[in-house]
Amino acid sequence: MNQSLSSLARLTLRQLRRVASDLGVALYSRKSKDELLDAISTKQEFSAGEKRIETAISLAEMEAGFGNTPLPLPETRVVFLPRDPQWAYVFWEIAADSRRSAEAAGARQLCLRVSDVTGLHDGSSHPHTLQEVVVDAGTSEWYLPVPLSDRDYRVELGFRLNDGGWFSLAFSAVARVPAMHPSEQILDQFVPFSLEATPSTLPTPADAGDNNLHEWLYQTATVRWRRLGRGSEAFHELGDSDAAARGLNDSGVGRWASGRSESGIGGVAPRQRSFWLVADAELIVYGATDPSATLTIGDEAVPLSADGTFRVQVPFRDGHQLYPIKAVAADGEQTRNITLEFERKTPQDNTNTPEQAKNEWF
């Protein structure tokens, strides 16, 4: 029992005698209250000192039993960390014994060797892909330019010797450098499109459905400028009579563009062949909002994923296009909106599909 002197003074004589009995105070029954207070306080201080001594002795015994713990020995290692598709970060440590061994062998320059090991698992590298980079002998880190993105690389740390030989110190783990282009793994389904002219009448939202949502959004964004007739759309919308009146053949080139007649008669032997080209562009509109919100592009509702993300891929044809995007909270009190404006121009279009390709004399 360990109590302060002020708390002990509030106890009765009988209670003090009980405390003194527990502490082992001699002749406690013959002492007065003041004498009991002095005896109990002295006994408590003595007991506390003995406990501190015992604790110090036990800690000293434990520390003596541990002995000397050896420090970890330094090791030579190199770490290769790709930062982006064009740069990587490399850092290393060289143990003292490794450096002495390299100096004894005639070390001249500290170098990093970058090897392309894509698809290889036996420790080898692809031939003609090894690149050696000289680094400062006093540094322990370096930024390396990546030869080619979307590949696996391994870095070797070593010294170039005076006789032209190589003294290897350590190899890094194989790391993948990310690709420069977007990922080819896309969760949503691409919207098919055609190079043919779009219908002059717009589909109604009831007829559009989920499968035609992307085309409906494109038509909504471009309907007000549809009558202007621009670029490749103006060309594709020409009728056969208009093309013939302008002297254009199926490939879109004038009949006499090659300097020869249709028979191919000229200064070289005639050859007959067909040729074609198809090219176009698509527009991707993506983003995210609260999963419980309602999202619209124009007047058309766009479905959201479980995490609130959305991604819409629409044709990107010539002309001016507006995509007003609006998100409304589930309670209808909060809204967020953004309007995206795009414009595409095709100054030249001399394309045709394989079905439209015809044999021509050259």
**Which tokens in the block code for residue 290?**
């609260």
What is the number of structural domains in the chain?
3
In a domain, 72, yes or no: no
Same domain, 352 and 211: yes
Average pLDDT value for residue range 80-101 = 92
pLDDT surpasses 70 at 216: yes
Same domain, yes or no: 236 and 325: yes
Give residue-wise pLDDT tens across range 128-176. Answer: 788 899 999 889 999 999 888 889 999 999 999 999 899 999 999 999 9
Q: Tell whether 194 is covered by a domain.
A: no
* 119-128, 197-206, 314-323: least confidently modelled range: 197-206
Q: Rounded to an integer, what distance in angstroms lies between the CA atom of residue 242 and that of residue 231?
A: 16
| Residue 329 falls inside a structural domain | yes
pLDDT over 50 at 234, yes or no: no
- Say how far apart CA 306 and CA 23 lie, in whole Å: 71
Instruction: For residue 121, give its domain range.
Output: 77-176
Q: Of the candidates 32, 66, 100, which is a domain's last residue?
A: 66
Same domain, 166 and 298: no
Which pLDDT belongs to residue 257?
41
- The answer on pLDDT for 338 being more than 80 is yes
Does a structural domain hold residue 191? no
Last residue within a domain, chosen from 176, 193, 218: 176
Q: Is residue 198 part of a domain?
A: no
Compute the average pLDDT of residues 312-326: 88
Residue 336: what pLDDT?
A: 94
Look at residue 71 in the predicted model and tell me its pLDDT: 62
pLDDT at 11 over 80: no
The residue-averaged pLDDT of 223-231 equals 47
> Could you read off the pLDDT of 37-72 as tens digits, one per residue?
777 777 776 666 666 656 665 666 666 666 666 666
Query: Are 55 and 130 within one domain?
Result: no
Region of poorest pLDDT, from 118-122, 125-129, 187-191, 244-248: 244-248
Same domain, 209 and 356: yes
Query: Stretch 266-282: mean pLDDT, rounded?
Result: 69
For residues 248 and 343, membership in a common domain is answered with yes
Least confident of 57-61, 114-118, 327-331: 57-61
Residues 125, 31: one domain? Answer: no
Predicted confidence (pLDDT) at residue 88 exceeds the cutoff of 90 = yes
- 138, part of any domain: yes
Average pLDDT over residues 187-200: 53
User: Which range has the worst mean pLDDT, 28-42, 107-121, 122-136, 169-183?
Assistant: 28-42
State the pLDDT confidence band at 185, using cuts at 50, 70 and 90: low
Averaged confidence pLDDT in the chain: 75
Per-residue pLDDT, 14 = 76
275 and 348 in a single domain? The answer is: yes
The answer as to whether 200 is a domain residue is no
- Within a domain: residue 184? no
Residue 101 sits in a domain whose CATH number is 2.60.40.10
Q: Are residues 264 and 349 in the same domain?
A: yes
Q: Which range, of 5-19, 95-109, 129-143, 156-170, averages the lowest pLDDT? A: 5-19
Q: Are residues 250 and 121 in the same domain?
A: no
pLDDT at 197 over 90: no
> Could you tell me if 10 and 152 lie in one domain?
no
Instruction: Tell me, yes or no, whether 353 and 256 share the same domain.
Output: yes
